[in-house]
Structure 1
């Protein structure tokens, strides 16, 4: 009898194991039927992505390892599967469009061990994330994210190359041009950060991102052993830090833990995203990160005022034709305020030097901050203060309460240079405390945005881009090509503190680095167009008031371009080559087009305009001699309507920009 019982028990256990490891397949299709996710459960969980019979990803595993060796995704035991279709939209008042359509099909797989994986299929891409429902806290040791491809495609990768701390590649300013290499040519023993792009056949491209990064480290990628894909790497949790880096105001990691984060046992983890496009231009008007992020935690956003900022640092406080010594002093900043007021620029920023770098409660004696706040208030110009992350986080609450009560409008927080879980948590903490004190934020020296700008709309901008400030020192960089790449890649993650607006413009052969009289690569019209093309609710005007006064026609034009919009339409473009884009605010359209170092003709179809009405376009185009004198431009006003089609010549590194108003 005992033998029979043991035999029955053995057969039961055998069948249970076989059943639990029996291969199970699930399919999720996008609303338009073009994208398929195929999920396979066996001894591990893999997914594939197919776009109209073209492989985007071949079988790629996913898992998450917790403390004590528990691996979510290994020998998964499925409890149930739930599918549903979501058709909704949400308002986005501080974005590139008033509202966002959010339509997708969803599959949630619930497993034993209290975890699940949620998959979403949109018409323009797919995403998945892990969720756990465990008691107490958990420790995440590692996460497996693998991206396998069926061919050796080209990729555009931003590599980590920060030599300030070569022993820790995760200390990074997240500023890098894209390197166009085959997947197999990924630079050995290095890392790249998100977003990045893979170029498939049939003009299809995919961009890889993450969203809803909370209490968790950011994702990097490296090459796989097979050379046919990428796999994720994550910075471990910091245990010990020291001051270092620029002016000793960075926090460098001297010891990391053997885990990523200790976190809540019941939570959602970040989204892993693959956006798929059949046409390059669609990448320049994508809402995926916004759709996969948490809604605003701030109910009243009426105090959040986007706008442009007169900036001091890039132009090295270089103003002249004045009767005082220019520099970091009260007289200079009153001059900046006068300039901003006259040109209807909403803010000025006081960059480094207005305070002690390690104690921003102690002011530079040459800067009378109270007087400047009062002066700015009288002239309807708000003041934003620069701070290093290290100095701010010594007493975030105290700093914010003090300066908010004085009348400061916001902070530009710099030198974060990490995205481990500790830093990510700090960013959320700063955002909440700033919102509590009704302060705007611009995160400079920052990892790429991952949707926190929707959750905390008082964050108006992020760096995480190799912007104009780099032009001061990098003559060998191909900036126009980069400018024509980031709208399709980096800008998909969110706003960019690129800081455009140079009034000294240079051709490829004439460009030279300069600290106090910096130039831009490309034409004047290229710079003007960036104010429409680059998303930045808090947008800098990088050049000096003196330079803008000398170029008042360009300054007047820039000042009229808003920084948030009601509608965006990407008209044309090719990654790394050119882009043509329009945005609408109220009844006025704003047009921008730029090219790389290749001159080209672009044909613009104005059918986006309201039918039956005439419009006047205030148009800036490259001058006939812009190939030799990049400052050369032509301004004209023309009448157009929705039937108009026009071809324009863009010079080398050139552009065009227009404000189109009802006539």
Structure 2
């Protein structure tokens, strides 16, 4: 049956391993045949150095998207690079899995790919496997040591992506918090340095987009980053800097056997394919939590943006609890300094008040330990299994639903283990978790669905930090849906209408649209209460009912840094958010052809008004044949909700 299935699907075309011939190429195609991975030997032999090439076909035009991906690892005891002999190419396997997700951009997921395992050995006769997968929305590969004895350090990973200078790219300079800007580059403007994941590319002929990332990172490795410091066209995977985490932890990961590396991921296709992809989660380990009924996504009121020391003040805390109750948001966050609360009440008083309002509290913690310079308390309560058990036991009794844990500052193996230990312990107490000052998502939300979101983004908090965010925010906001937010929930803390320390230049319509554009299972709406209370009825109602977990996600239009229009579905209702990052007004025609056949819908369209602090609202009856014209101010935006007519 497997052979028949392989023939019917055209899973694999192989020209290798014939006993009398040396072969140099193995080819694996995606189920829809748009994406092809080719395996080559540099010496045109069965022994030597091996590399991959990735091709993309659209409308009968084939593009060499990535001309070369170098392969190999160097362990402390042996090398697996220049003298690898191809021993066997396994039979093709169809990966065909369906699973559900508690939150994210799509509730029902399909993990469907063609896979082949190629086996090599080095001169010491030690085996290493290369596992290749071709998906309809990308490719992935990982290394495997199927056998071994004592634990051993990995000295270097030689994986490197060669990408021509003519390819356009949007990349973020490496920083441990992943809170930088994306820099657009191509040709002679390509910079050489270390870069964060994910990184977005568009081929010279404009037909193919791809995003470089990694997935299914576990306790048996460290996080990596991209570096083209030696060659502008070659992005090599590199281990963490020794200085990360104040120098704590070792740079080189120590692996135990049997071992598999994280997946090296290339999300690929059109921009629509990139935005809709769940490949980072698809490649990651299934949920270890059987009962997920207690995991509840939802909006959160948050006092830090408008008052940096707000949680220290009982009266401010109660105002934000009232806001959450009034707006029908299930959560409010007690950020740093809750352990020093005063002005009318202490922590216990605040928690009692919050619960009495029908709102669930979330609480902030410093990740603690010597890996962070930040001394803010409580600092060490998450640091060990024993301290976490004590703290989670208290929180459970106090009715706290989740914890925000901050300042990790490293992706060394010890820190990866720390992240996962926190998630595992929290799950035992049915406590939701989200990480700040952290790495970008690596698929853990599938394995631990109590992981609700990560920061790892330059978000609205930066209106508090530096004046440059004011003018940079519009373009930045129009890049994130194509980059950072593709790979997992993003706690940008959006939708602010008043000003923090530094002002906005985005319109009110732009800010409202971010509630749809930015996906985060716990969506922290960051403005002060009057920022929401003073809204007109339509945008206020919109924010009262906005979901934070979705059944479907579709890109309707957009280009990184210029504009983006996204549609997301929850049940039978659709929500649309669109923003303009440019300094000119636009009129966009939005087709509603994603709606169901033969169904009439009621559309509430909330657009920019006469100026950037005004709204205009229309109510229309529409169907899938409708196209709506939407005026957008410079740096403006709009939002819409579409519900079946009753």
**Normalising to structure 1: TM-score of the pair?**
0.85
Residues 634 and 33 (structure 1 numbering): CA distance in 2 closer, same or farther, change over 3 Å?
same
Aligned residue in 1 for 2:129: 116
Q: Give the Cα separation in 2 of the matches to 1:367 and 1:82.
A: 67
* Pairing partner for 1:281 from 251, 272, 281: 272
1:496 — aligned with what? 490
Report the 3-state secondary structure (helix = DSSP H, G, I; strand = E; otherwise coil) of the residue aligned with 1:438.
Answer: coil
Equivalent residue of 1:284, what SS?
helix
For 2:52, the equivalent position in structure 1 comes to 47
Structure 1 equivalent of residue 292 of structure 2: 301
Counterpart-to-counterpart distance in 1, 2:301 and 2:408: 23
Matches within 5 A, 1:302-321: 302-316=293-307
C-alpha separation in 1, matches of 2:391 and 2:405: 12
2:184 alignment partner in structure 1: 180
2:199 to 190, 196, 199: 196
Given the alignment, which residue of 524, 527, 537 partners 2:521? 537
Please report how far the alpha carbon of residue 502 of structure 1 lies from its aligned counterpart in structure 2 after TM superposition.
0.6
Q: How far does residue 474 in structure 1 lie from its aligned partner after superposition?
A: 3.4
Hey, what does 1:337 align to over in structure 2?
321
User: Which ranges of structure 1 fall in alignment gaps of 5 or more residues?
Assistant: 1-18, 163-171, 242-250, 319-325, 357-362, 506-513
Decide whether the 8 Å contact of 1:468 with 1:520 is kept in 2: no
SS of the residue aligned with 2:284?
coil
Taking the aligned partners of 2:547 and 2:291, their CA distance within structure 1 comes to: 22
Task: Tell me whether 1:69 sits opposite 2:75 in the alignment.
Answer: no
What is the CA distance between 1:317 and its match in structure 2?
6.3
Distance in 1, Cα, partners of 2:260 & 2:288: 17
Q: Secondary structure at the match of 1:294?
A: coil
Partner of 2:354: 376
Q: Secondary structure at the match of 1:173?
A: coil
Shift of 1:76: 2.9
- Residues 1:220 and 2:232 aligned together: no
Distance 1:327 1:421, change over 3 A: closer
Structure 2 gap segments, 5+ residues each: 1-18, 42-46, 369-378
d(CA) in 1 for partners of 2:552, 2:89: 41
Return the offset for 1:565.
1.4
Secondary structure of 2:317's aligned partner: helix
Match of 1:127 among 137, 140, 155: 140
Determine helix, strand or coil for the equivalent of 2:247: strand
Distance 2:141 2:431 in 1: 33
Q: How many residues align?
A: 593
Tell me which moved more, 488-497 or 80-89.
80-89
Aligned counterparts, 1:485-634, within 5 A: 485-504=479-498, 514-515=500-501, 519-551=503-535, 553=537, 554-598=539-583, 599-624=585-610, 626=611, 630-634=612-616
Name the stretch that deviates more: 108-117 or 483-492. 108-117
Q: Distance in 2 between matches of 1:95 and 1:21?
A: 49
User: Are 1:208 and 2:212 matched, yes or no?
Assistant: yes
Q: Does structure 2 conserve the Cα–Cα contact (< 8 Å) formed by 1:503 and 1:519?
A: no
Residue in 1 aligned with 2:108? 99
8 A Cα contact 1:55 1:150, kept in partner? no
User: SS of the counterpart of 1:103?
Assistant: strand
| Deviation, structure 1 residue 226 | 4.2
Q: Which residue of the partner structure matches residue 171 of structure 2? A: 157
SS at match of 1:339: helix
CA deviations 1:132-153 (Å, max 9, x no partner) are 1222422211111111134532
The Cα shift of 1:108 comes to 0.5
Q: Secondary structure at the match of 1:562?
A: coil
The answer to whether the 8 Å contact 2:30/2:135 transfers is yes
Q: Does 1:658 align with 2:644?
A: no
The answer for the alignment partner of 2:373 in structure 1 is none
Q: What pairs up with 1:210-249 in 2 under 5 angstroms?
A: 210-215=214-219, 216-223=221-228, 225-235=230-240
1:426–1:49 CA distance, 2 compared to 1 (3 A) = same
Partner of 2:4: none
Cα drift, residue 364 of structure 1: 6.7
Q: CA deviation at 1:593?
A: 0.8
What's the secondary structure of 2:114's corresponding residue?
Answer: strand
Distance 2:293 2:395 in 1: 20
SS at match of 2:273: helix
- In the alignment, the residues of structure 1 paired with residue 467 and residue 187 of structure 2 have an alpha-carbon distance, to the nearest angstrom, of 28
Structure 2 residue corresponding to 1:644, chosen from 626, 631, 645: 626
Please report how far the alpha carbon of residue 114 of structure 1 lies from its aligned counterpart in structure 2 after TM superposition.
3.1
Q: Deviations over 1:388-445 (max 9, x none)?
A: 1112215222222221222111111111122111111111000001111111111111
Cα-to-partner distance string for 1:182-211 (whole Å, 9 max, x where unaligned): 2664434x3111101122123222110110
Q: Computing the radius of gyration over CA atoms, which structure comes out larger, 1 or 2?
A: 1
1:89-110 deviation line (CA, Å, top 9, x unaligned): 2222322222112221111012
Matched, 1:83 2:92: yes
Question: Residues 183 and 286 from structure 1, CA distance in 2 versus in 1: closer, same or farther, beyond 3 angstroms?
Answer: farther
1:604 positional shift: 0.9
- Following the alignment from structure 1 to structure 2, what is the Cα–Cα distance between the partners of residues 373 and 73? 61
> Is the deviation greater in 210-219 or in 21-30?
21-30
- On the 8 A contact 2:166/2:203 being kept in 1, the answer is no
CA distance in 2, matches of 1:183, 1:210: 26
Structure 1 vs Structure 2 CA RMSD = 2.3
Partner SS, residue 246 of structure 2: strand
- TM-aligned CA deviation for residue 355 of structure 1: 1.9
- Deviation at 1:653? 0.9
Is residue 500–residue 531 contact of structure 1 (8 Å, CA) maintained in 2?
yes
Q: Distance in 2 between matches of 1:80 and 1:604?
A: 48
